[in-house]
């Protein structure tokens, strides 16, 4: 219950960073609106645009922040939320013990230091797909998104470094049993933030999920 309360508080604090409700709606709707589309329809609904990396730096996305000022930054909040054996939480949110499961490579991890918290859609990919035109506040909200548990995932450092900033056209998780979930989560994050796909990425998503369940992707739009 303590972990759930901590995560809920952080989520509420992050909500203040998302796009104001009065802002012009994106192609999929207004911030705060909800969508539920079959997976294949969600892929088709994503806006189309060529990718551009011009001007990107990782520092364009401020993270990891401590939105609720509880001394646990976004990375620590994710580790606390995703542990299936909870770590002990010490002063200034120091974590000891605990156990996690890394879905990318089907590995169990017993130390928080062996984990990276990965952005499901990497920061560079988000920039390429439209975030380069966002405000600094929007990019901060994206980089610390605790409002959807698909946005950030604790995985082994090795698998995260292997993925780097690649999209599904060039990288899929080594754990084949997880790939359908991975693709669905990728699409959900792109829909949530109304990020575009280019032709190569859309085709890779379509091909990759050919044998996946066409289950609804349910999303609350963040911008």
Q: What is the pLDDT of residue 27?
A: 86
Residue 70: domain span: 2-220
- Write out pLDDT tens, residues 39-87: 999 999 999 999 999 999 999 999 999 999 999 999 999 999 999 999 9
Contact 158, 104 (CB under 8 A): no
How many domains does the chain divide into? Answer: 1
The lowest-confidence range among 3-17, 66-80, 85-99, 133-147 is 3-17
Q: What is the pLDDT of residue 207?
A: 98
Contacting residues for 110 by C-beta, under 8 A, at least 6 apart: 98, 99, 100
pLDDT at 18 over 60: no
- Write out pLDDT tens, residues 148-171: 999 999 999 999 999 999 999 999
Q: What is the pLDDT of residue 26?
A: 83
Contact 31, 21 (CB under 8 A): yes
Q: What is the pLDDT of residue 82?
A: 98
- Write out pLDDT tens, residues 97-139: 999 999 999 999 999 999 999 999 999 999 999 999 999 999 9
pLDDT at 3 over 90: no
pLDDT band with cut points at 50, 70 and 90 for residue 11: very low
Q: What is the pLDDT of residue 2?
A: 36
How many Cβ atoms from other residues are within 10 Å of residue 216's Cβ? 14
Contact 116, 153 (CB under 8 A): no
pLDDT at 15 over 50: no
pLDDT at 201 over 70: yes
Residue with tokens 């190569």: 200
How many Cβ atoms from other residues are within 10 Å of residue 115's Cβ? 23
Phi-psi region of 189 (alpha: psi -120 to 50; beta: other; left: phi over 0): alpha
What does the alpha-carbon distance between residue 36 and residue 44 come to, in Å, rounded to a whole number? 13
Phi-psi region of 98 (alpha: psi -120 to 50; beta: other; left: phi over 0): left
């Amino acid at each position: 219950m303590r972990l759930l309360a901590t995560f809920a508080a952080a989520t509420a604090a992050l909500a203040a960073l998302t796009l104001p409700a009065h802002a012009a709606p994106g192609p999929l709707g207004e911030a705060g609106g909800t969508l539920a589309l079959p997976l294949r329809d969600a892929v088709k609904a994503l806006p189309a645009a060529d990718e551009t990396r011009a001007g990107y730096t990782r520092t364009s996305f401020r993270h990891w922040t401590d939105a609720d000022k509880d001394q646990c930054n976004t990375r620590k909040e994710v580790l606390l939320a995703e542990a299936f054996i909870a770590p002990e939480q010490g002063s200034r949110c120091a974590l000891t013990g605990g156990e996690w499961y890394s879905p990318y490579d089907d590995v169990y991890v017993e130390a928080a230091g062996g984990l990276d918290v990965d952005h499901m859609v990497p920061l560079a990919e988000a920039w390429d797909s439209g975030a380069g035109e966002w405000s600094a506040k929007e990019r901060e909200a994206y980089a610390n998104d605790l409002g959807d548990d698909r946005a950030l995932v604790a995985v082994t450092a090795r698998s995260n470094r292997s993925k780097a900033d690649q999209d599904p056209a060039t990288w899929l998780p080594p754990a084949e049993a997880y790939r359908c979930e991975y693709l669905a989560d990728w699409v959900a994050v792109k829909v949530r933030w109304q990020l575009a796909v280019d032709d190569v990425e859309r085709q890779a998503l379509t091909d990759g999920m050919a044998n996946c369940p066409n289950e609804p992707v349910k999303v609350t739009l963040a911008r």
